[in-house]
Amino acid sequence: MDAAAKARFDLISDNLAEILNPELIESILVEGRNPRVYWGTATTGRPHTGYFVAALKIAQLLASGCEVVVLLADIHAFLDNLKAPLELVENRAKYYRKIITAILESVGVPTEKLEFVLGSSYQKSPDYVMDVYRLSSLVSEHDAKKAGAEIVKQTSNAPLSGLLYPILQVLDEEYLKCDAELGGMDQRKLFAAATEWLPKIGYRKRAHLVTPMVAGLSGGKMSSSEQDSKIDLLDPPETISKKIRKAEAAPKVVEENGVIALVEFILLPAAELKGTKEFRVERREGEPLVYTNIQQLREDYANDVLTPQLLKAAVTAALTSLMAPIQEAYQASPEWQEITLKAYPPPVVEKKQKKVKDKGTRFPGANKQQELPERPKQ
């Protein structure tokens, strides 16, 4: 591999947790071809700050000359234990397209080369459906459950749709004509399944670019369905501040620290993309703390040089600034606001009906029409 191809490969592999079958990417670069990469997202709950991880990686892929396809997986959203009812799926897909474009533009990434594809635009075609049947006949229930274990909601007596979900995602690699798929560490089992399943029906295996998972603000994985774990991309500054203040960040504890994770996986990479890779922590006394890599920050936090209070204040300021263009784009678009109301309608709160107690007829103030019968005259 020559120097130019190696530089492109280094950019493609930067900030990833892992690459499965990297030799497939290397051979494409040696050919001088642009790798075609797809990233899919099921259009379920409202996207949160964790989506910056994929967006920042997409920015690097575009910079390296890759063709990038964003799959708005509307049918997947419905299959995942009915997380998105059919009547809401269409508007949720429109919402996702708006928010993903706004994320990329907020970090200065040109989006005209980005290709958006709606899953239902091809997943109902006769060829695709036949391939679903073909793969379903070759994949066991055990293997389908294992592949989707971390991405499909697991319940007792789960609907059959959850077993179809990973089969559809594997087939998407072929029907989107990609060379690689981008996704989080929670999809690794499915990626491993894809390399095994596709050759069974005569299709080539693909490479997989695996991004790290961002810890949630309450510990564990940041999730659209866990309100306390995430910051919505349209949260106003006061909500961002409140959520970060409440976030779990024990002094000197670096692991499973969602506030540090925001710096590592979002704020530092976003700053680098904008041209200056640094994270500044202002202090009342002394010079500000300036970090250009996460290891410096981790060491200072472990030694209590950087306290939770200082870190939270700096993260709040940096994240609010990063998300400001998304807020501005939303406020300037009545169309987007209308889509949001249709995609995520506010819950209908039913008023409780006041129960009228029947106290009978022998109490003060009873209905005078229900008078007691007169006593017979003596």
Q: Per DSSP, what are the bridge partners of residue 367?
A: none
Q: What are phi and psi of 150, to 5 degrees?
A: -100, 0
Closest CA to 165 of 76, 42, 81: 76
273 and 159 in a common domain:
no
244 and 117 in a common domain:
no
Q: How many Cα atoms occupy the beta-carbon half-sphere of 292 within 13 Å?
A: 3
CATH number of the domain at 7, please: 3.40.50.620
191 and 151 in a common domain:
yes
- Report helix, strand or coil for 56: helix
What pLDDT score does 83 carry? Answer: 60
Element housing 41 (H / E): strand 36-42
In a domain, 232, yes or no: no
273 and 188 in a common domain:
no
What pLDDT score does 45 carry? Answer: 87
20 and 122 in a common domain:
yes
What pLDDT score does 313 carry? Answer: 97
252 and 132 in a common domain:
no
CATH number of the domain at 256, please: 1.10.240.10
Q: Using CA atoms in the order 15, 16, 21, 25, what is the torsion angle rounded to 10 degrees?
A: -30
d(CA 334, CA 330): 8
In a domain, 370, yes or no: no
Burial class (CB in 10 A: 0-12, 13-18, 19+), 158: middle
In a domain, 223, yes or no: no
73 and 38 in a common domain:
yes
d(CA 218, CA 257): 9
Tokens of 369: 């029409």
In a domain, 280, yes or no: yes
187 and 77 in a common domain:
yes
3-state DSSP helix/strand/coil % of the chain, to nearest 5: 50, 10, 40
In a domain, 299, yes or no: yes
Closest CA to 151 of 210, 101, 199: 210
Give mean pLDDT in consecutive 10-residue pieces for the chain, a chain of 378 residues.
93 95 97 96 91 93 94 88 73 94 87 92 97 97 91 77 92 98 95 97 98 82 63 94 93 93 94 91 93 96 96 97 95 96 84 63 54 52
In a domain, 348, yes or no: no
Position 130, amino acid: M
Tokens of 77: 């959203």
249 and 195 in a common domain:
no
What pLDDT score does 296 carry? Answer: 96
What residue numbers bound the domain in which 178 lies?
A: 3-211
| Domain total of the chain | 2
292 and 147 in a common domain:
no
What pLDDT score does 87 carry? Answer: 79
247 and 193 in a common domain:
no
338 and 266 in a common domain:
yes
What pLDDT score does 153 carry? Answer: 75
Closest CA to 188 of 35, 18, 16: 18
In a domain, 179, yes or no: yes
For the whole model, what pTM was predicted? 0.86
CA distances to 42, 170, 300 from 219, in Å: 23, 30, 21
- Tokens 């700050």 belong to which residue? 49
Q: What are phi and psi of 78, to 5 degrees?
A: -70, -40
In a domain, 352, yes or no: no
